[in-house]
Structure 1
Amino acid sequence: MDKPIGVIDSGIGGLTVASEIIRQLPKEEILYIGDTKRCPYGPRDEAEVRTFTWEMIDYLMSFEIKLLVIACNTASAVVLEEAAEQLPIPVLGVIHPGAVAALKATKNKEIGVIGTEGTISSGAYYDELRSINGEVKVVSAACPTLVPLVEAGDYFSSQALKTIESALEPMLMYSIDSLILGCTHYPMIEKQVKDVMGTDVEIICSGDETAREVSSLMYHKNMLYVGDRPPQHIFYTTGGMPKFRDMAENWLGMPDIVVKQTDLGLTAGGQFQPASANRNE
């Protein structure tokens, strides 16, 4: 099926999902939107998150994507269910795959979850984990300082490490043996998180698991592209292009990627409505 996969995120974090999809499915094309202008979504109220997320969905749907990945944990917690009901294509989030991977990894049934304020307050990971295994103990902590750190591209400074250590401090009080990075920005600082948590804690990147689910679903639904055309990935940002391009090329390991700016058409959000747009504009 020669249509692109759509990936949306509040900023650059969803690139961790896009990168893994590209690695697993090298023939597929990606259309990505990072709402960097309004990132982060975590501190925003549910109504704002819903409106912004639907603006991104409406925009990508006008390009006739064949599958949508909501790569933002906060947006997944708020919009995934209604998007799956309303859209005529498969819709995947990042919460269920991450929860399943953590349950497979844990040995003592004590799992930690870190995420944005919105994701943690929604209880989405807690509910998902407990619905699958009612015996598991879930420890959650909001880490509002981490997304701005990642968006700023400041991963390795001594101040960044102090910020990460402070954010993870609540987790060190418990005997968790698995930690879900419940925000797609966090894999960019996975090494630093692992250094703080220690070798006894398995780090679960929900983005990696989501890409595996995308691959499996497309295979079983016969949605894979099997032709010979080279893939053309397009990355949209609502914010500044130079910084987004630098970080995207660095994370994806792909030079000269196609980056475009969009205001998302100022759509109303909240309901998919077909719109006219040219994929190659």
Structure 2
Amino acid sequence: MDNRPIGFLDSGVGGLTVVKELIRQLPQEEVVYIGDSARAPYGPRSAEQIRDFTWDLVRFLLTKDVKMIVIACNTATAVVWEDIKAKLDIPVIGVILPGASAAIQTNQGGKIGVIGTPMTIQSDIYREKIQLLSPQTEVMSLSCPRFAPLVESNEISSNLARQVVYESLIPMIDQGVDTLVLGCTHYPLLRPLIQEAVGDGVSLIDSGAECIRDVSVLLNYFQLNRSWQEGEPNHRFYTTASAKIFKEIAENWLKIEINVEHVDL
């Protein structure tokens, strides 16, 4: 057993969608989460900036003695996951490969859509991973740069959000995809609006939620599970922006009461 917490990092609040799945699947595990909302979104930034910012978050989590790190951000996974994984002596999990694998398993018609931040789409990493596993599958990618800011500003239920989501997805709607990868962990917070826009016939893949299955496998393989005898986990959440706004979004999404601290990196 290993009773240390699991570290989660994201450009902001999007990684909470991954934490929610961890709490559902592995309720005995403890979370330390850092969201870099002060510098969000990462999607439009340069690869160099994303790399530097992500390493800031990694170093912060290492001060909390985490046993594993989940890069709960597609953009950061696309840019720097391989580098971080190679340099740390604890498991480091990204969200892209699990999402790509789930999309292939779900897809029926040979066409998969991917929506994500500008950097994730520019990297073309989803198409590469999907076609590596399923060369015959056609992949259509679409950048949706306005989605993450809607989530960070807590406007996910607004009329503006509905309009932005529909207008942004128009190029994808007529492509004939039956599977759509939500290639940013912010996007599941907009899931009802995305589903409404693309229709019930399209299966949505939450790449972040899928990665928790990999977390569970690694915890078992390396015997890192937290003991139930430790009692209820003490989840800790940190943000580089407003703790009040983060807490409001997080408690609404996670359906639990949490403590949030502001940190400067």
Superposition TM-score, scaled by structure 2 size = 0.97
Cα distance in 2 for partners of 1:159, 1:84 equals 39
Alignment counterpart, residue 244 of structure 1, candidates 243, 246, 249:
246
**Which AA in structure 1 matches 2:55?**
W
**Which AA in structure 2 matches 1:209?**
E
**Secondary structure at the counterpart of residue 239 of structure 1:** coil
Tell me the residue number matched to 1:113: 114
**Secondary structure at the counterpart of residue 180 of structure 1:** strand
Tell me the residue number matched to 2:233: 231
Cα distance in 1 for partners of 2:216, 2:168 equals 33
Tell me the residue number matched to 1:159: 160
Offset, 1:156: 2.2
Cα distance in 2 for partners of 1:216, 1:139 equals 30
Tell me the residue number matched to 1:96: 97
Cα distance in 2 for partners of 1:59, 1:157 equals 34
Offset, 1:74: 0.3
**Which AA in structure 2 matches 1:199?**
D
More displaced stretch, 220-229 vs 43-52: 220-229
**Secondary structure at the counterpart of residue 58 of structure 1:** helix
**Which AA in structure 1 matches 2:236?**
I
Tell me the residue number matched to 2:181: 180
Over residues 75-132 of structure 1, what are the superposed CA-to-partner deviations in whole Å (9 max), with x where a residue is unaligned? 0001100111000000100000000000000011100000000100011111111111
Cα distance in 2 for partners of 1:129, 1:19 equals 25
Offset, 1:197: 0.6
Offset, 1:62: 1.6
Over residues 164-196 of structure 1, what are the superposed CA-to-partner deviations in whole Å (9 max), with x where a residue is unaligned? 001111101211110000000000011111111
Tell me the residue number matched to 1:23: 24
**Which AA in structure 2 matches 1:106?**
N
**Secondary structure at the counterpart of residue 142 of structure 2:** strand
**Secondary structure at the counterpart of residue 37 of structure 1:** helix
2:70 pairs with 1:69: yes
Name structure 1 gaps, 5 residues minimum.
Answer: 265-281
**Which AA in structure 1 matches 2:202?**
V
Cα distance in 2 for partners of 1:75, 1:206 equals 13
Alpha carbon RMSD of aligned pairs, Å?
A: 0.8
Aligned residues: 263
Cα distance in 2 for partners of 1:231, 1:54 equals 26
Name structure 2 gaps, 5 residues minimum.
Answer: none
**Which AA in structure 2 matches 1:135?**
Q
Tell me the residue number matched to 1:42: 43
Cα distance in 1 for partners of 2:225, 2:248 equals 30
Offset, 1:153: 1.1
Cα distance in 2 for partners of 1:39, 1:227 equals 36
Cα distance in 2 for partners of 1:172, 1:165 equals 9
2:24 pairs with 1:2: no
Tell me the residue number matched to 2:195: 194
The correspondence of residues 130-169 of structure 1 with structure 2, limited to 5 A, is 130-169=131-170
Cα distance in 2 for partners of 1:232, 1:104 equals 35
Superposition TM-score, scaled by structure 1 size = 0.92
